[in-house]
């Protein structure tokens, strides 16, 4: 396990106006790390802007509310910035900012991430794949900076760790992640509210979508492979959109005996890494949880992905 690079800390310490960014379709760790960093830098007396065009899932909106964070969506928000800090984002092409990564080229860039597939882009990168989440890493960055960490900030970072470890249940739940979580709870993180909002409640629309996912779940003859799909019409018919799609892959994954779950969100069970499988489809992520995007006809994509998943399982 590594600690934040001194040069990276100095970059942040000496910056005056910082653009904080994350990845497209932001999840709780993205909001927790980029949003938490922005709050911490503000508490140090700096100006920090959260650049985040595109939507945030309704379920995660409360995190912006807790942090009183406004999403900046226009390129004008980059004017006057002297540093860009990108969190939880493995690839330049997934950077979620107006004009993407290219628009940041006039700035020094710090890259804080826990994805094994991170290319190490930027002026100063701290990549540690043994960390539970980018939020855990931002906590250590803020500690190195002696930034004041209040209850709001603690809640954002706690939510990022909670979400990426699926409520401290995945194999990335390390002693360190639990220690950081305990420290955040001590500082007033709203532990039960985070769990209630992230795990224990679904909107009526999401509930309707889950019915579709359950109904469409199929199981291979040997019981090692489970998959489900939802067409665009089924997603919009449930009152949902692309921002709502993420955790539904947990439905097929939860079947006993499953080793691989597929929804172009891949999950490996029992320590099986499915990263290579996601990469076959141009995707990426983590060993236990990865994703990919494909354009085309749904049935044809399902056939292609299942073929690759079967072959993948045969070789493991
Ligand atoms: Mn993450």
Considering the domain architecture, whether residues 120 and 166 belong to the same structural domain is answered as yes
Higher pLDDT, 9 or 250: 9
Say if residue 45 is in the same domain as residue 154: yes
196 C-alpha to center of ligand 1: Å?
A: 20
Q: Does the residue 265 lie in any domain?
A: yes
Q: What integer pLDDT is reported at residue 168 of this predicted model?
A: 97
Model pLDDT, residue 214: 93
> Quick check: 221 pLDDT over 70?
yes
In angstroms, the Cα distances linking 40 to 44, 45, 141, 150, 277 are: 6, 9, 10, 9, 37
User: In this structure, is residue 228 part of a structural domain?
Assistant: yes
Task: Print the domain residue range for 269.
Answer: 204-314
Helices (H), the chain: 6-14, 28-30, 36-43, 61-67, 134-144, 151-164, 175-186, 191-198, 204-215, 232-237, 250-253, 275-280, 298-314
Q: Helix or strand or coil: residue 17? A: strand
Do 66 and 117 fall within a single domain? yes
Q: Considering 132, 163, 198, which residue would you say is the last residue of a domain?
A: 198
- Kindly state whether residues 34 and 95 are assigned to the same domain: yes
- pTM of the predicted model over 0.75: yes
Going by the DSSP 8-state scheme, the letter that residue 152 receives in this structure is: H
Residue 282 sits in a domain of what CATH number?
Answer: 3.10.310.30
Q: Kindly report, residue by residue over 80-97, the tens digit of the pLDDT.
A: 999 999 999 999 999 999
The pLDDT of residue 67 is above 90: yes
The 10s digit of each residue's pLDDT in 252-304 is 778 887 776 655 778 888 888 888 888 998 888 888 888 888 777 778 888 88
Ligand 1 center to residue 305 CA distance, Å? 24
Assigned domain for 223 exists? yes
* Domain end marker among 167, 198, 229: 198
* Exposed / middle / buried, residue 273 (Cβ in 10 Å: 0-12, 13-18, 19+): middle
- Shared-domain flag, residues 15 and 163: yes
Q: 152, 176, 198 — which closes off a domain? A: 198
270 touches 255 (CB < 8 A)? no
Do 174 and 216 lie in a common domain? no
Residue 1 counted as domain residue: no
In terms of domains, do 187 and 213 share one?
Answer: no
Residue 30 Cα to ligand 1 midpoint, Å, equals 6
CATH code for the domain of 119 = 3.90.1640.10
Task: Note whether 184 and 45 are same-domain residues.
Answer: yes
Percent of the chain exceeding pLDDT 90 equals 64
For ligand 1, the distance from its centroid to the CA atom of residue 299, given in whole angstroms, is 30
- Do 187 and 230 have their domain in common? no
Which of 86, 93, 91, 88 minimizes the C-alpha distance to 108? Answer: 86
Do 208 and 192 have their domain in common? no
State how many domains the chain has.
Answer: 2
Q: What token pair was written down for 78?
A: 């980059």
Asked, for residue 41, whether it belongs to a domain, the answer is yes
Q: What are phi and psi of 266, to 5 degrees?
A: -100, 140
163 CA from centroid of ligand 1 (Å) = 8
Helix or strand holding residue 58 (H, E)? none
The CA distance from 266 to 87, in Å, is 22
DSSP of 245-306: -SGGGHHHHTSTT-SEEESSEEEE-TT---HHHHHHTT-EE-SSEEE----S-HHHHHHHHH
Q: Please give the distance, rounded to the nearest whole angstrom, from the Cα atom of residue 114 to the centre of ligand 1.
A: 7
Strands 260-262 and 109-113: unpaired
| 161 and 278 inside one domain | no
Average of per-residue pLDDT across 210-230: 87
Spacing, Cα 32 to ligand 1 middle (Å):
9
Q: Are residues 213 and 192 in the same domain?
A: no
Residue 243 pLDDT greater than 80, yes or no = no
Residue 86's SS3 state is: strand
């Amino acid at each position: 396990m590594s600690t934040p690079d001194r040069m990276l800390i100095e970059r942040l310490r000496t910056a005056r106006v910082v653009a904080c960014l994350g990845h497209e379709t932001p999840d709780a760790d993205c909001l927790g790390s980029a949003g938490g960093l922005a709050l911490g830098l503000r508490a140090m007396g700096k100006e920090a802007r959260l650049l985040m065009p595109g939507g945030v899932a309704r379920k995660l909106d409360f995190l912006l509310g807790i942090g009183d964070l406004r999403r900046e969506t226009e390129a004008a928000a980059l004017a006057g910035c002297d540093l860009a800090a990108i969190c939880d984002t493995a690839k330049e092409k997934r950077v979620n900012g107006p004009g993407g990564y290219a628009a940041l080229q006039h700035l020094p860039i710090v890259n804080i991430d826990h994805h094994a597939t991170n290319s190490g882009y930027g002026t100063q990168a701290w990549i540690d794949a043994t960390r539970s989440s980018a939020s855990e890493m931002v906590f250590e960055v803020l500690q190195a900076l002696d930034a004041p960490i209040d209850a709001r900030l603690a809640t954002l970072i706690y939510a990022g760790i909670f979400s990426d470890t699926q409520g401290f249940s995945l194999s990335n739940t390390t002693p360190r992640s639990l220690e950081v979580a305990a420290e955040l709870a001590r500082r007033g993180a709203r532990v039960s509210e985070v769990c209630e909002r992230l795990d224990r409640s679904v909107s009526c629309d999401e509930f309707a979508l889950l019915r579709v996912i359950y109904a469409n779940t199929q199981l291979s003859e040997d019981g090692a492979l489970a998959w489900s799909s939802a067409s665009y019409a089924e997603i919009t018919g449930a009152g949902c959109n692309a921002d709502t799609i993420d955790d539904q892959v947990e439905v097929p994954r939860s079947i006993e005996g499953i080793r691989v779950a597929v929804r172009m969100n891949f999950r490996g069970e029992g320590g099986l890494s499915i990263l290579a499988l996601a990469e076959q489809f141009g995707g990426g992520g983590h060993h236990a949880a990865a994703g990919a995007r494909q354009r085309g006809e749904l049935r044809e994509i399902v056939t292609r992905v299942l073929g690759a998943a079967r072959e993948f399982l045969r070789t493991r």
